[in-house]
Amino acid sequence: MSDDRKSQLCAIEDEIGNCKKCDLYKTRTNTVPGSGDFEAEVMFIGEAPGQKEDEQGIPFCGASGKFLDEMLDSIELSRDKVFIANTLKCRPPNNRDPEDSEKEACRPYLDKQIELINPKLIVTLGKHATSSMMPGVGGISKNHGKALRRPNGRTYLALYHPAAALHNGGLRETLLEDFSKIPKILDKLDKTKNENKNEDKNNIKQQKLV
Ligand code: URA
Ligand code: SF4
């Protein structure tokens, strides 16, 4: 990765650290810009920091993060090889749902991170991240586990949120099964990338890959 892209990603983190674009700055302890490899092939996007994340400034460092680590381990990935972020960089008080105005204010940071990291696959965790990143795609119960290439040329996989699966044995099994598809999807993306070398970028329809 070029030093320029790296310094741009660091500059975004600094900007987030001073951000007052929505009222969540008033109640945060730390901002949680995201963490991991700036050259990651896979980027995970959760909802928003919870209490532990707000205390430590690191995404998914509580109970659902532990489960996420286990799932990464099961496909021989780890946190330092992927990038993990959230739709909001600051914790909503009492973990309430993100408001549309907050998501809108915070979105440019995430968009810029995606542009600079340029992951092969974006994995959305839970309904909030899924509806933010794939507007119009419909509910997560219908779309989980399907890799979709969207009209913007990027490929997304929606998964249930690890926190939801922690309290529901059935969802846990489904999440583990969906998660295990990630290596297969990455493999397939390598091939499709080659096949589509000369494809007109504006002409890519939403396409189911796995
Ligand atoms: N849940 C999320 O969506 N994100 C975190 O960082 C932690 C818990
Ligand atoms: Fe800024 Fe996002 Fe934090 Fe709101 S949630 S203050 S937009 S960094």
Average pLDDT, consecutive stretches of 10 residues, N- to C-terminus, the chain (210 residues): 92 98 98 98 98 98 96 97 98 96 98 98 97 93 95 96 93 96 94 56 58
> Helix 63-74 vs helix 169-179: angle between axes, to the nearest 10 degrees?
40
Establish if 113 belongs to a structural domain.
yes
- CA–centroid distance, 25 to ligand 2, in Å, is 6
pLDDT of residue 204: 44
Please give the Cα distance from 70 to 99 (Å, whole number).
30
Establish if 143 belongs to a structural domain.
yes
Establish if 206 belongs to a structural domain.
no
Q: Measured from the CA of 48, which atom of ligand 2 is nearest?
A: 5
Establish if 72 belongs to a structural domain.
yes
Protein residue whose Cα sits closest to atom 4 of ligand 2:
22
Establish if 180 belongs to a structural domain.
yes
What the block records as the tokens of 111 is 């968009």
The domain that holds 141 is classified in CATH as 3.40.470.10
Q: Measured from the CA of 129, which atom of ligand 1 is nearest?
A: 3
pLDDT of residue 208: 73
Specify burial of residue 112 (Cβ count, 10 A radius: 0-12, 13-18, 19+).
Answer: middle
**Is the Cβ atom of 105 under 6 angstroms away from ligand 2?**
yes
Instruction: Show the domain range for 168.
Output: 3-195
Establish if 200 belongs to a structural domain.
no
Angle at CA of residue 27, ends 85 and 105, nearest 5°: 50
Protein residue whose Cα sits closest to atom 7 of ligand 2:
106
SS3 175: helix
* Helices (H), ranges, 38-166: 51-56, 63-74, 100-117, 126-133, 140-143, 162-166
pTM here is 0.93
pLDDT of residue 1: 73
Number of independent structural domains in the chain: 1
Give the rounded distance of the alpha carbon of 209 from its chain centre: 19
Please give the Cα distance from 181 to 183 (Å, whole number).
6
